[in-house]
Amino acid sequence: MISPLAFVHPEAKIGENVEIGPFAVINKNVIIGDGCVIDSNATICEFTQLGKNCHVFPSAVIGAIPQDLKFHGEETWTIIGDNNVLREFVTVHRGTFSKGKTVIGNNNLIMAYCHVAHDCCLGNNIIMSNTTQLAGEVVVDDFAIIGGGTLVHQFSHIGGHVMIQGGSKINKDIPPYIIAAREPIAYCGVNSVGLNRRGFTPEQIHTIQEVYRMLYQAGMNTTQAIAAIEAQVPACTERDTILEFVKASTRGVVRA
């Protein structure tokens, strides 16, 4: 299951039923979980952990040192969960002293030529389309779909269940459950089709739509809108998720 033309450092920890193709490089201090496939010419750098059943395609580089001038060789990690697909030429950089690790959760599809910079934190079931570029310390929540060629500024936060138009430039936080598009990036409605596909009820989707109507279309500033939503929309997971996201945003959320 390991090509004789691959380099696997003797200190690397390789799980069961792992396939490693020719000219792949597995460095020391690497942990690869059961059932992973590392294709030809892929490189898994030091201080990287892959969970089970991940597939790293040719020429991907996972766990390289960060492109951050404040990094001085300290021990930091790249932690990747189970069932992830990292396509051709994907690059994922390990953390810096800021957070100490770059984290990618489970069941994510990261398409060709995408970049995940130092200290990013990605959740689960995310799709990053081709050539999407995440700068340092970006957070992406579960079930986000990011269109191809999107550029994400450092420290941005992308909420769960969003749909982002390809070619977008993101310099504001994208709150959960919405469609974000246009130039500059803006709120373009609730991602009702995606939510319906993921099992949200009509009542849940209606609540989300009402919250965003008050936040974006009722002629109030953000502080006024939050107060009105708390007073008029009954507490529920969807309402509270949106409010917590908006309140916690340090960059400010996109506008309509």
Mind telling me the catalytic residues? 118-119, 136
Contact 109, 91 (CB under 8 A): no
Contacts of 60 (CB under 8 A, 6+ apart): 39, 42, 43, 86, 87, 88, 89, 90, 91
User: 104 pairs with which residues across the strands?
Assistant: 80, 122
Q: Which two tokens stand for residue 115?
A: 């970049």
Give the span between the Cα atoms of 26 and 41, in whole angstroms: 10
Q: Which of 245, 155, 248, 251 is nearest to 208 (CA)?
A: 245
Q: How far is Cα 59 from Cα 210, in angstroms, rounded to an integer? A: 46
Residues in CB range of 230: below 8 A, 6 or more apart: 243
